[in-house]
Structure 1
Amino acid sequence: MEVFNMNKRFFIFVCLVLAVFVLSSCSAGNVTEQNNAAKTGQIKVVAPSGATAISISKAMKDTAEIDGTKVEYEIVPTTDLIVARLTAQEADFAVVPVNLAAQLYQKKVPYKLTSVVTWGNLFIASSEKIEGWEALKGKDIYLMGKGLVPDIVFRTLLQKNGLDPDKDVNLIYLSGATELAPNFLNGKAKISMLPEPVLSTVLSKKPDTNVFLDLQEEWKKAFGLSKAGYPQAGILVKEDLINNDPQLVKDYINVLAEGMDWINENPKEAGAMAEELELGLTADIVEKSMPGNNIRHEYVKDVRKELDQIFEIMYEFNPETVGGKLPDDGLYYEIN
């Protein structure tokens, strides 16, 4: 009887060990499945229309899969839609204005900034033959985005060049770039801010337009920088993807960076590609706008000085432009 009881106890012990082993295997399998979710599934890339969409166009054309993961692309017409996608965590990568990246970070939306990809595309044009900042004194100037980056950049440069934005000029704000062009072309606006690629569209219809201020070059002069422009838009990556598959993140960012080099080196082909992708721009406009689109990939680790500077300027203008306080190191994910 004692032998029977011992055998029974041994049998129960073996069953318990097997049960623990099976459960552990299942648990490990679930973790592995979660960690490899990106590799067996799909990632989504979102960008607004315009120069930012052009910046990822080469990847859109050539990269439908990365490291065994399918890549879906979505170009949206408004920043509000991008905010909605990111707040709902429906995108894995997104190209967004850098101040929006800061705002989302302050709201604990789980994304990290890895790179800056556009460096300003703003120009001041006139239907009259005027030159320099002093010529703006007493004039009506049409621009977009009151309280947003275009406004902050222009006001900062006015001040740097000895003009009071609230006293020396009359700033007239329109809702966006799509309103600036028709107002300039119909003669209502004599002096207007025109971003690329809208500027190239205007020049194709009114070739005698006087483009007399490149705000990127003016920013370079005002702040003593080595390169023209200021951080305008960058790449956000979902934290879950960074944690679960950092190699995929690194590989895909590299694809985007190489694509940006290619479109700068091949503007004609880039134009044809953008038209084929139906980005809302004709091939010739994209080709002509490429220098002014100021697309250049830089990892955040290499441009922290420039990012800190633009965030500080925005914060001084209005703290809410960067989410109420200056972003700290937690905003960034550095890729080596």
Structure 2
Amino acid sequence: MRYGWFCQGGCFLTFKKRASTMNCLKKKRNKNREVIIMKKRMISVWQATFCMALLLGNAAVAGEAGRVGSLKGPTSMGLLSFMEKEKEAEEPNFKFEMMTAADELSAKFIKGEIDFALIPANMASILYHKTEGNVQVADINTLGVLYLVTGREDIRSVADLQGNTVYMTGKGQTPEYVLRYLLEANGLAEEDVTVEFKSEATEVVSVLAQEPSAIAVLPQPFATVACAKSGNKNMVLSDLTKEWDAVGTGTLVTGVTVVKKDFAQANPELVEQFLEAHEASAAFVNENPAETARLTVSYGIMEQAEAAEMAIPKCNITYLDGKDMQEALTGYLQVLMEQNPDSIGGTIPGEDFYYNENGKENKN
């Protein structure tokens, strides 16, 4: 006689078979337990790896220099003393890249290829909205730099532009919006003036060299270069900042420095180090135009030191941070929004748009 029992499946099991079956079930349970433990460990490793990737993506790697991107012109000129010191350092803390197009610079900044970007003021607001608030303005580096340039004696201000063609750069950026605003302030509609955009300021300079009677809006130092190259003694420089001030719309802001919020939070010491060096460099430029002019040539910003020295006092290179920065930039963006909300990304940015808004006061 065999002793045993029926399993749930209806099959008859002997004691021997039962022991074998129990061993199999125990091994299966142990195997399942090992799989679960292994999965938990894999999840933990993945989570740790993901967190580390985020940390490295937002923080400068120890021993690596902060990456600074600027535009060829006044924003880069304000960095020249800073750049020279880093160039001479045995272990530089920053490396610099100069570009001619604001779109290229902003794209590199968004991709994380640039840590500090010196860009047009309105573009900073646009990037703030595109990144859902992950962009902060650290300082204002240039104020009004735009000039109306022409060899025509009948053109002395924006009010005289009706029925004419104006050559300029900066489509969708500060230069265009400043001109559009001043046209409206002087009672002119967009259709009253034809605006022809060029990709670089040097192209506009070439137009004026070939045809001195042409009309252009140029930033410094290129406005001064255009006058020097034309050979026309009647070439007129009309300061659009003065026209802006005459309308009574607050401070005209051209360029700002931006950082990503998460980068700034992860690298506060590096950001503060940059700001201190930037402030010192801007002061050096304004106090030493002859030496700065030499540097503009060696760094390929301008061809002639003499023209550069003449242009530097007109470049409005500055350093504003904290409350001074916020007051000036908020007022400027408000003017642009009233003209065209799309020019600043739709709305005025929030308080978090301003880095260290309760920090040190402007020393200038």
Pair in the same fold by TM > 0.5: yes
SS in 1 for 2:211: coil
Deviation at 1:65, TM superposition (A): 9.1
AA of the residue aligned to 1:139: N
Relative to structure 1, the CA distance from residue 187 to residue 255 in structure 2 (aligned partners, 3 Å threshold; closer, same or farther) is same
Partner of 1:193: 217
AA of the residue aligned to 2:166: I
Question: Of 54, 62, 85, which aligns to 2:108?
Answer: 85
Q: How far, CA to CA, are the matches of 1:128 and 1:223 in structure 2? A: 27
Question: Of 167, 171, 174, which aligns to 1:142?
Answer: 167
Partner of 1:293: 315
SS in 1 for 2:190: coil
AA of the residue aligned to 2:150: S
Partner of 2:275: 253
SS in 2 for 1:303: helix
Partner of 1:219: 244
Partner of 1:152: 177
Q: Is the 8 A contact 1:127 1:209 kept in 2?
A: yes
Specify which structure has the bigger relative contact order, considering alpha-carbon pairs within 8 angstroms and separated by 6 or more residues.
1
Partner of 2:153: 129
Question: Of 280, 284, 302, which aligns to 2:306?
Answer: 284
Q: How far, CA to CA, are the matches of 2:194 and 2:115 in structure 1? A: 42
Q: How far, CA to CA, are the matches of 2:296 and 2:197 in structure 1? A: 30
Deviation at 1:266, TM superposition (A): 0.7
Relative to structure 1, the CA distance from residue 142 to residue 330 in structure 2 (aligned partners, 3 Å threshold; closer, same or farther) is same
Which of the two has higher C-alpha Rg? 2
1:127-167 Cα shifts (integer Å, max 9, x gaps): 12233444334333333334432121112122223x21335
Partner of 2:188: 164
TM-score of the two chains, using structure 1 as the length reference: 0.80
Question: Of 224, 228, 231, which aligns to 2:253?
Answer: 231
Stretch of structure 1 that moved more, 53-62 or 242-251 = 242-251
Deviation at 1:255, TM superposition (A): 0.9
SS in 2 for 1:123: strand
Partner of 2:143: 119
Partner of 1:324: 346
SS in 2 for 1:181: helix
Q: Is the 8 A contact 2:227 2:235 kept in 1?
A: no
Deviation at 1:39, TM superposition (A): 5.1
1:178-200 Cα shifts (integer Å, max 9, x gaps): 22212222117532212211112
Relative to structure 1, the CA distance from residue 69 to residue 38 in structure 2 (aligned partners, 3 Å threshold; closer, same or farther) is farther
Partner of 1:19: none
TM-score of the two chains, using structure 2 as the length reference: 0.74
Q: Is the 8 A contact 1:197 1:289 kept in 2?
A: yes
Q: Is the 8 A contact 2:337 2:343 kept in 1?
A: yes
Deviation at 1:333, TM superposition (A): 0.6
Relative to structure 1, the CA distance from residue 48 to residue 143 in structure 2 (aligned partners, 3 Å threshold; closer, same or farther) is closer
Q: How far, CA to CA, are the matches of 1:37 and 1:183 in structure 2? A: 43
Partner of 1:264: 286
Deviation at 1:295, TM superposition (A): 0.5
Q: How far, CA to CA, are the matches of 2:211 and 2:247 in structure 1? A: 31
- 2:92 equivalent to 1:59: no
Stretch of structure 1 that moved more, 103-112 or 168-177 = 168-177
Partner of 1:275: 297
1:42-74 Cα shifts (integer Å, max 9, x gaps): 2111111112111111111113599x7621111
1:68-118 Cα shifts (integer Å, max 9, x gaps): 762111112222221221111122211111111111111117331111011
1:189-228 Cα shifts (integer Å, max 9, x gaps): 5322122111121122224143252001111221165xxx
Q: How far, CA to CA, are the matches of 1:204 and 1:296 in structure 2? A: 25
Q: How far, CA to CA, are the matches of 2:177 and 2:285 in structure 1? A: 29
**Matched ranges for 1:35-74 at <5 A:** 40-64=63-87, 70-74=93-97
Deviation at 1:290, TM superposition (A): 0.4
AA of the residue aligned to 1:199: A
**Matched ranges for 1:169-188 at <5 A:** 169-187=193-211
Q: CA RMSD in A?
A: 2.8
Relative to structure 1, the CA distance from residue 150 to residue 209 in structure 2 (aligned partners, 3 Å threshold; closer, same or farther) is farther
Q: Is the 8 A contact 2:116 2:259 kept in 1?
A: yes
Q: Is the 8 A contact 2:181 2:339 kept in 1?
A: no
Stretch of structure 1 that moved more, 320-329 or 271-280 = 271-280
Deviation at 1:256, TM superposition (A): 0.7
Q: How far, CA to CA, are the matches of 1:85 and 1:57 in structure 2? A: 21
